[in-house]
């Protein structure tokens, strides 16, 4: 292979090197600090894979078993590290298989760059073999996308891609690169992108809005904070904690906000939303000031907008102007990065405690504990509950594990009962609700945080959507811990069928394979337990393993997740049974 010095001699400009577009892509990734990416090769991206082979000492490529798995692995890596995740695939079906991961990353604000190969420029629009208009397909589910047709475009476009993916409210970017652009040569140099005309990713905070917010918070009698993933993405965990402690404000979290504040913090009052805790849901409609920080008022949080927090003044701290007044009208919108805006707010906040208001949360927690939590964590019935499994993992891991959950009943139970002491510990598919997310995302999370224990919590339905990624674990010897909570049903759909469709279980009963034998076929230590007496020892054994481990737990078939707010109902219509 020619050295960079020799290639510089061939270039027309002494400040550049003469290389192929494919090699330029590798140099761009290295310049952006990428050392790990996920993907699946094919004809239209083969020149890049050939260059990857030459640079494998600097850039590790993880061969997943499906392109969707590559995107979810990149998401898991991004969520646990805060870096941009990278995935790569060929044209046609390779590219379309990435769409679910792109959509998931878009709605959950995950920074990701996906690179796809494309047929040559001359064949575009001719319905050539494995040609698909991935730009048109992916436009609704990406923060930005672009089709490169000339080698000379590659450095500038990839620099923009990484800048857009990570800046402001993060999101996924797709760059589609024709095969001729990969093969042709260019005079290569690389400049990091630091700004784009008309793109202002971080709004400048308005001093008057911050002053108004401080005055409203200081005057409040029953303030309540609801924080989301914007706190984590903005690295504002310390500022959030300081605000809560200084002003004495009860703080609740969205699913993606979980782990931004220690679970055992005395002012952490639990989860809001459809399967959230009783107290914060009920008291949303009693607070006088609702302070939303880095959350977007998703319908699963608000229930009926016609009845949501109508008595409260709303302060909305948000980086994305498009989210202001989209669902809930804000009396005081505060635009900007949450770390910056909260830092400006804190000196203006008066010390307070709101003791009587906190007591209202404690009373309602007692109601929920007696009606739901006690029986979930310490059941007297024969069958195991999902909650007691999560609780056992909490205890055995010292509340330090990264929990990667899939979508369904087990997801809500994992969010309700997982306890965390460190940010970036809860990884799940929030807005899109993608079954099959957890297994590949856990692979990416583990590779991004090898020093941490990573446990995937998955239902028997979602597990089988990406079960082929056991091959990725096998090939790379990734020490992920996999827990399948098996109730032989598509549990969440079955719950709705029981409650709202007169127990007509249409297509929700699962006839499952022998999961243990499948895992063992991939050389993964595997075990199934059906009795409570084996739970503690099995979880301890799993976490003690230095290698990948699969644990299947047979849980109650017709357990429901409560509390529950029926879809479209008021948050105070929350059901405990």
Domain covering 2-188 in this structure, CATH number? 3.40.50.970
Instruction: Assess whether the region 2-188 and the region 207-360 belong to the same CATH fold.
Output: yes
> How far lies 24's CA from each of 1, 30, 165, 182, in Å?
14, 10, 20, 8
Q: What is the pLDDT of residue 347?
A: 98
| 360/269 Cα distance (integer angstroms) | 11
What does the pLDDT read at residue 167?
98
Residue 409's nearest CA partner among 496, 329, 474, 521 is 496
Q: What is the pLDDT of residue 11?
A: 62
Residue 16 pLDDT: 85
* DSSP state for residue 483 in the 8-state scheme: E
Long-range contacts of 325-333 (CB under 8 A, 24+ apart): 326/296, 326/297, 327/296, 327/297, 327/298, 327/299, 327/302, 328/292, 328/297, 328/302, 330/292, 331/216, 332/209, 332/212, 332/213, 332/216, 333/209
Closest by CA to 240, choosing from 380, 107, 229, is: 229
For the chain, the structural domain boundaries read: 2-188, 207-360, 382-555
User: Nearest to residue 155, comparing CAs of 24, 31, 37?
Assistant: 24
Query: pLDDT of the chain along its 577 residues, tens only?
Result: 555 555 655 666 767 899 999 999 999 999 999 999 999 999 999 999 999 999 999 999 999 999 999 999 999 999 999 999 999 999 999 999 999 999 999 999 999 999 999 999 999 999 999 999 999 999 999 999 999 999 999 999 999 999 999 999 999 999 999 999 999 999 999 999 999 999 999 999 999 999 999 999 999 999 999 999 999 999 999 999 999 999 999 999 999 999 999 999 999 999 999 999 999 999 999 999 999 999 999 999 999 999 999 999 999 999 999 999 999 999 999 999 999 999 999 999 999 999 999 999 999 999 999 999 999 999 998 999 999 999 999 999 999 999 999 999 999 999 999 999 999 999 999 999 999 999 999 999 999 999 999 999 999 999 999 999 999 999 999 999 999 999 999 999 999 999 999 999 999 999 999 999 999 999 999 999 999 999 999 999 999 999 999 999 999 998 999 999 999 999 999 999 9
pLDDT score recorded for residue 378: 96
Give residue 15's pLDDT. 76
84 and 113 Cβ atoms separated by less than 8 Å: yes
Identify the pLDDT of residue 2: 54
Per-residue confidence (pLDDT) for residue 14, from 0 to 100: 63
8 A C-beta contact, residue 316 and residue 292: yes
Angle at 340 between CA 335 and CA 345, to 5 degrees: 80
HSE-up (13 A, CA, CB side) for residue 464: 13
CA dist., res. 416 & res. 427, Å (int): 13
Active-site residues, by number, are 67, 129-130, 179, 492
CATH code of the domain occupying 207-360 = 3.40.50.1220
CATH number of the 382-555 domain: 3.40.50.970
């Amino acid at each position: 292979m020619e050295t960079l010095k020799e290639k510089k001699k061939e270039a027309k400009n002494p400040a550049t090197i003469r290389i192929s577009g494919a090699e330029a892509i590798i140099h761009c990734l290295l310049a952006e600090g990428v050392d790990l990416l996920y993907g699946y090769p094919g004809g239209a991206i083969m020149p890049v894979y050939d260059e990857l082979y030459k640079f494998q000492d600097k850039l590790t490529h993880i061969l997943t078993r499906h392109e969707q798995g590559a995107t979810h692995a990149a998401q898991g890596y991004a969520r646990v590290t805060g870096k941009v995740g990278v995935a790569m695939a060929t044209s046609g079906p390779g590219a379309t298989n990435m769409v679910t991961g792109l959509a998931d990353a878009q709605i959950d604000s995950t920074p990701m760059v996906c690179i796809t190969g494309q047929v040559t420029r001359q064949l575009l629009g001719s319905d050539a073999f494995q040609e698909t208009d991935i730009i048109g397909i992916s436009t609704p589910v990406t923060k930005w996308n672009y089709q490169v047709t000339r080698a000379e475009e590659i450095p500038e476009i990839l620099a923009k891609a990484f800048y857009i993916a990570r800046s402001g409210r993060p999101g996924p970017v797709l760059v589609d690169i024709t095969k001729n652009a990969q093969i042709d040569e260019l005079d290569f140099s690389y400049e990091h992108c630091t700004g784009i005309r008309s793109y202002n990713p971080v709004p400048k905070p308005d001093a008057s809005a911050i002053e108004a917010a401080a005055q409203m918070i200081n005057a409040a009698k029953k303030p309540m904070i609801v924080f989301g993933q914007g706190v984590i993405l903005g690295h504002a965990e310390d500022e959030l904690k300081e605000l809560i402690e200084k002003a004495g404000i009860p703080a609740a979290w969205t699913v993606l906000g979980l782990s931004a504040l220690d679970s055992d913090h005395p002012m952490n009052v639990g989860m809001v939303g459809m399967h959230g805790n009783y107290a914060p849901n009920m008291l949303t409609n009693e607070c006088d000031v609702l302070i939303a920080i880095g959350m977007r008022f998703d319908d699963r949080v608000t229930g009926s907008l016609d009845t949501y927090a109508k008595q409260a003044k709303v302060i909305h701290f948000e980086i994305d102007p498009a989210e202001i007044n989209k669902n809930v009208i804000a009396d005081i919108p505060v635009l900007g990065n949450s770390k910056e805006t909260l830092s400006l707010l804190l000196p203006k906040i008066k010390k307070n405690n709101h003791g009587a208001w906190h007591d209202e949360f404690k009373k309602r927690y007692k109601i929920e504990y007696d009606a739901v939590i006690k029986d979930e964590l310490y059941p007297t019935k024969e069958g195991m509950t999902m909650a007691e499994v999560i609780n056992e993992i909490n205890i055995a891991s010292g509340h330090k594990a990264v929990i990667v959950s899939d979508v369904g009943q087990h997801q809500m139970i994992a969010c309700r009962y997982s306890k965390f002491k460190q940010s970036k510990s809860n990884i799940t598919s929030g807005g899109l609700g993608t079954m099959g997310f957890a297994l590949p995302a856990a692979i990416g999370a583990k590779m991004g945080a090898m020093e941490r224990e990573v446990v995937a919590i998955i239902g028997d339905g979602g597990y089988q959507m990406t079960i082929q990624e056991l091959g990725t674990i096998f090939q790379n010897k990734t020490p992920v811990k996999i827990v399948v909570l098996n109730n032989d049903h598509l549990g969440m759909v079955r719950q709705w069928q029981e409650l709202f469709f007169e127990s007509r279980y249409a297509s929700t009963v699962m006839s499952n394979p022998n999961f243990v034998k499948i895992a063992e076929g991939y050389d993964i230590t595997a075990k199934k337990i059906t009795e409570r007496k084996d739970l503690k020892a099995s979880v301890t054994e799993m976490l003690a393993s230095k290698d990948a481990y699969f644990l299947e737990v047979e849980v109650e078939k017709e357990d429901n997740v409560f509390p529950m707010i029926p879809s479209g109902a008021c948050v105070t219509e929350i059901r405990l049974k």
